Amino acid sequence: MLELVDLNVYYGAIHALKGINIKVNQGEIVTLIGANGAGKTTTLKTISGALKPKKGKVLFQGGELEKVKAHDIVGLGIAHVPEGRKVFMNMSVMENLEMGAYSRKDKGEIKKDYEKIFETFPRLLERKNQMAGTLSGGEQQMLAIGRALMARPKLLLLDEPSMGLAPLIVKQIFSIIEDINEKGTTVLLVEQNASMALKIAHRAYVIQNGVVELEGNAEVLLNDENVRYAYLGA
Ligand code: ATP
């Protein structure tokens, strides 16, 4: 579904991605793990078009994305839940979800999708008219994911959904991610919480200083001594 080929991305003189090669197959959950500053967020931003690579390609279902404008990339089926959630604080839960569907015109289907989102996140239904800025961190994360799903993405990019959340809420969010994937959405998940991410992912890439250090089956990496020592605090 997605292939990053020799991706090189700069911030001015800073060479943040130094030739990243990553593949995501349809139906998978793939996770990118690695230390702070490794280049995980930069990778997601390049896929969704916020950053453009100096060299390399972003192939999505065979097409080249690096020349497509960010707002057109959503229409092709990629939705990005950014780090720090970034919901519209002064809008209600419902209005945030409506923003997620802005590029769609199929009104009947949009209505069905609101119902699906509220089935997945009953908490959002209870708080439908509440301002997003007054939701808890976990509820805001649910809203950010719900809003992204309103675009009916084929590929969902999630940047650190566990950030700043209590362990019980993190568990809940990860189980929802698994559920979303089982219902047919492919997921590319960036996480600091490597152990949780490796438990739900099919495959994983370890990113270090802008390059892929290690890749493989998530379960194998979860039990790999070097990964356990470097990233899982074991
Ligand atoms: P974290 O887990 O801490 O979010 P990350 O793996 O997502 O880390 P990135 O945010 O992709 O890392 O950062 C990769 C590198 O690019 C870092 O060295 C970072 O300092 C640099 N960088 C990121 N954003 C910018 C920016 N706007 N301007 C300059 N340098 C940046």
Q: What is the pTM of this model?
A: 0.93
Amino acid 40 reads K
Pocket test of ligand 1: the residue of 4, 14, 15, 31 to mutate, having most ligand atoms within 8 Å of its CB, is 14
Q: Do residues 173 and 142 touch, judged by C-beta distance below 8 A?
A: yes
Look at the chain and count its residues. 234
Domain around 112? 2-231
How many domains does the structure of the chain reveal? Answer: 1
Q: How far apart are CA 14 and CA 202, in angstroms?
A: 32
Amino acid 13 reads A
Atom of ligand 1 at shortest range from CA of 14: 30
CA of 11 to the centre of ligand 1 (A): 9
- pLDDT value of residue 104: 84
Name the closest-CA residue to atom 2, ligand 1. Answer: 36
- pLDDT value of residue 149: 94
Each residue's pLDDT, cut to its tens digit, for the chain (234 residues) gives 999 999 999 999 999 999 999 999 999 999 999 988 999 999 999 999 999 999 999 999 989 998 888 888 998 999 999 988 789 999 999 999 999 998 888 889 999 999 999 999 999 999 999 999 999 999 999 999 999 999 999 999 999 999 988 898 999 999 999 999 999 999 999 998 999 999 999 999 999 999 999 999 999 999 988 888 877 765
Q: How far apart are CA 105 and CA 134, in angstroms?
A: 30
Report the CATH number that the domain containing residue 223 is assigned in CATH: 3.40.50.300
Tell me how many degrees the CA angle 127-71-183 measures, rounded to the nearest 5.
55
Q: Which residues line ligand 1 (CB under 6 A)?
A: 11, 14, 16, 34, 36-42, 192
